[in-house]
Amino acid sequence: MVQRKYITYNQVHKLCQESAQKILNEFKPSLMIAIGGGGYVPARILRSFLKTKDSANIPIQAIGLSLYEKLSTGNSSSSGPEEKAGHTVTRTQWLDFSAVKNSDLVGRNILIVDEVDDTRTTLQYAVQELQKDVEMAAEKMGRKGEETRFFVFVLHNKNKDKKGVLPEDMMREGRYLAAETVGDEWCCYPWEATDIDEHDRLAAEAESKKSASKPNGN
Ligand code: 5GP
């Protein structure tokens, strides 16, 4: 049976808060692209921490990518929140700048936000496709000389062999940030919970078991 890790809204908030300083100082994004649906809440929380008094809010664009399929056991009473990875990434939504004047990807620092990096397939797809869009747009607008830099932020990175690959220069230059590295367990996020009190209870139970197992109890 897959281990589950229950994450509360408070923990999500604090993971964003802890990562914000590095993102602000080193990544300096001027646009966030949230991968839906798991990237939406972290991106929105992060935006509040990235707001400085001299700057406007960083715009958030959304893309929808789907790789996972609900695990079906044929018995609804025993089915949990876990999903299994499909083989291909499906685009369910892409960028829309139609309502935004003078806005495009070229020459920006762009932060891609998702909740979890599991096999890395989704992130690889997102970065590759966005890079292609940038190259095409730059070509069209005669702005090929401008550097566009992509960064990645996830709440959780699962420590496991990855199927997907991110650009070598992104990893080398530290343009990838995971707020927390976890084992190969299923992360249960609060926005997926149908009973948030039970979700929080399970998260608190796991926390107290963890501190009870530590030698000094904290
Ligand atoms: P990857 O392409 O890295 O295998 O998976 C990324 C996507 O799969 C995530 O955006 C998320 O939708 C889903 N996913 C993978 N692992 C988990 C998990 O542990 N918990 C949840 N809630 N979603 C997951």
Structure tokens at 181: 């590295």
Q: Any residues with CB less than 8 A from the CB of 123 and at least 6 apart, and which?
A: 35, 112, 114, 117, 152, 154, 164, 166
What local confidence, expressed as pLDDT, does residue 210 receive?
87
Are residues 179 and 155 in contact, defined by beta-carbon separation less than 8 angstroms? yes
- Cα 84 to averaged position of ligand 1 atoms, centre (Å): 9
Q: What angle do CA 42, 45, 48 make, to 5 degrees?
A: 145
Within a 13 Å sphere around the CA of 192, how many CA atoms are in the beta-carbon half? Answer: 17
Ligand 1 midpoint to CA 62 (Å):
17
Distance from the Cα of residue 5 to its chain's centroid: 17
The yes-or-no answer on residue 96 being catalytic is no
Question: Using CA atoms, how far apart are residues 189 and 1, in angstroms rounded to an integer?
Answer: 18
How many structural domains are present in the chain? 1
Catalytic residue among 118, 133, 184, 200: 118
The one-letter amino acid code at 109 reads: N
Burial of 129 (0-12, 13-18, 19+ CB in 10 A): middle
Separation of CA 54 and ligand 1 centre (Å): 35
- Please provide the distance, in angstroms rounded to a whole number, between the alpha carbons at the two ends of the chain: 28
Alpha-carbon distance 69 to 61, whole Å? 24
Q: Report whether 39 contacts 65 (CB < 8 A).
A: no
Write out residues with Cβ below 6 Å of ligand 1.
35, 38, 67-68, 85, 114-122, 186-187, 189, 192
Q: Whose CA is nearest to atom 11 of ligand 1?
A: 116
The CA 113 to ligand 1 mean position distance, Å, reads 12
Ligand 1 atom at shortest distance from the alpha carbon of 122: 2
**Cα–Cα dist 65/21, whole Å:** 28
CA distance 199 to 190: 7
Half-sphere exposure at residue 125, Cβ-oriented, CA atoms within 13 angstroms: 19
CA–CA separation, 159 vs 92, rounded Å? 27
Which atom belonging to ligand 1 lies closest to the Cα atom of 81? 22
H or E element: which one contains 35? strand 31-36
Q: Which domain holds residue 84?
A: 4-217
Identify the CATH number of the domain in which residue 34 sits: 3.40.50.2020
Whether the predicted model's global pTM rises above the 0.85 cut: yes
* Mean pLDDT, each 10-residue run in order, the chain (218 residues): 94 98 96 97 98 91 85 54 82 82 83 98 96 92 95 98 97 98 98 98 95 73
Whose CA is closest to atom 16 on ligand 1? 118
Atom index in ligand 1 nearest the CA of residue 5 equals: 19
Residue 80 confidence (pLDDT): 78
